[in-house]
Structure 1
Amino acid sequence: MRFKVVPELRQQSFIETATRTLPLVPSSEDDCCGLLMADTGIDSRDVAREWITFLRALGQVAEADGKYYQRRDPVDDVAGAFRERVYAAETVIQTVEDSGEPLETAEVFERVRTEIPQWERNRRQDWEEVWYERVRRLLEWAVEFGHTERTTDGYHN
């Protein structure tokens, strides 16, 4: 299963903090959002929901019957989980790896846009803006997880 949600970049230590904030015993989404907002400085339920989903993608949080909890056996390779379980992360990272030269966000977007499913394009009028933002966030997280580097020339390996 791949997850589409990619929140704004935070340091990897935030992943640990957010994970520890969530309960060990399954709890409702509302309760988990409230805990994240109270303990991490997240300022809205929508952003808290994004983080719950992202933490699931990274193998830190699990879901059972619509309730969430921190996994007792979280995934150790968070960077690998990001690449494998976050939708389009592999494509974006591979694009940078294959380029042979630094790429700016717009260049990466142009190279991966053909990979964006038609149903995503049909889903909304502003799909290009939404996916450009998604690519930007994926690139930032790819740097944070050590898959790529960012210099003044762009993203590269």
Structure 2
Amino acid sequence: MRLKPVPEPPAELAALTEFQRAVPLVPGSTDDCCARLRDRCDLPNRQRANDWLAFLRTLGLVRETDRGFVRTDAEPTPERVREGLREGVLHVPEALSSLRAASPAEPVTADALFDATRDSVPRHDRARDADWERSWRDRADRLLRWLVLVDLAAPVDDGRSRSADGDGERGYVAGDALADA
């Protein structure tokens, strides 16, 4: 099963260490871990903290034990994050396939990724969110920016994917790590 939550990516990969360290070394309950993440990482609410906890687990930076969650000794390296994204996050395979086929003239945008994955958005997500399309477009944008963070995608900023006033959608092509894979 692949993870659905995709939190806002940090400006740099090293910031993941702060999120990882917010999870205790001694097992803590989900509520305790979410409270620590919320307080230590300045998250706005428990839901965002819970999303981060699940995301960190998918990346192998946190694990769940019988007694609760603990941080692992794993470092948040680009390779580890790439593997976690590839193996455990919903729509990453589709994003990577789209990026491989993209060109600077026809880059992948969040809208394009959403359109390509729209039919696989879980029904219960559609039913519980009246504005699910916007939510999943936003998720596609965050997912593409995570892929940039670990060099699986590269932004195209040649005026084709953004209008002159800075509005519009950013486009992406395969990053060096994807081209080398």
User: TM-score, length-normalised on structure 1?
Assistant: 0.85
Aligned mate of 1:143, from 136, 141, 148: 148
Cα deviation for residue 36 of structure 1 reads 1.6
SS in 1 for 2:152: coil
CA displacement 1:78-116 (0-9 Å, x = unmatched): 212112111112212221222333122212222232343
**Between 16-25 and 125-134, the greater mean CA deviation after superposition:** 125-134
Is 1:52 matched up with 2:53? yes
Instruction: Verify the 8 A CA contact 2:125 2:132 in the aligned structure 1.
Output: yes
After superposition, the CA RMSD in angstroms is 2.2
Matches within 5 A, 1:8-87: 8-10=8-10, 11-65=12-66, 67-73=68-74, 77-87=80-90
Does the C-alpha gap of structure 1 residues 32 and 89 become closer, same or farther in structure 2, counting only changes over 3 Å?
same
Gaps of 5+ in 2: 162-170, 175-181
1:119 and 1:27 mapped to 2: Cα distance? 29
Does the C-alpha gap of structure 1 residues 71 and 119 become closer, same or farther in structure 2, counting only changes over 3 Å?
same
Gaps of 5+ in 1: none
Aligned mate of 2:102, from 88, 99, 102: 99
2:132 and 2:67 mapped to 1: Cα distance? 29
2:132 and 2:45 mapped to 1: Cα distance? 24
Structure 1 vs Structure 2: percent identity of aligned residues?
Answer: 32
Instruction: Report how many aligned residue pairs link the two structures.
Output: 157
Residue of structure 2 equivalent to 1:4: 4
**Between 141-150 and 87-96, the greater mean CA deviation after superposition:** 87-96
Does the C-alpha gap of structure 1 residues 135 and 67 become closer, same or farther in structure 2, counting only changes over 3 Å?
same
Instruction: Verify the 8 A CA contact 2:13 2:76 in the aligned structure 1.
Output: no
Name which one, 1 or 2, has greater alpha-carbon Rg: 2
Instruction: Verify the 8 A CA contact 2:108 2:173 in the aligned structure 1.
Output: yes
1:88 and 1:65 mapped to 2: Cα distance? 29
Amino acid at match of 1:98: A
SS in 1 for 2:108: coil
Does the C-alpha gap of structure 1 residues 23 and 117 become closer, same or farther in structure 2, counting only changes over 3 Å?
closer
User: TM-score, length-normalised on structure 2?
Assistant: 0.75
Cα deviation for residue 9 of structure 1 reads 1.6
2:59 and 2:53 mapped to 1: Cα distance? 10
1:40 and 1:117 mapped to 2: Cα distance? 29
Is 1:90 matched up with 2:85? no
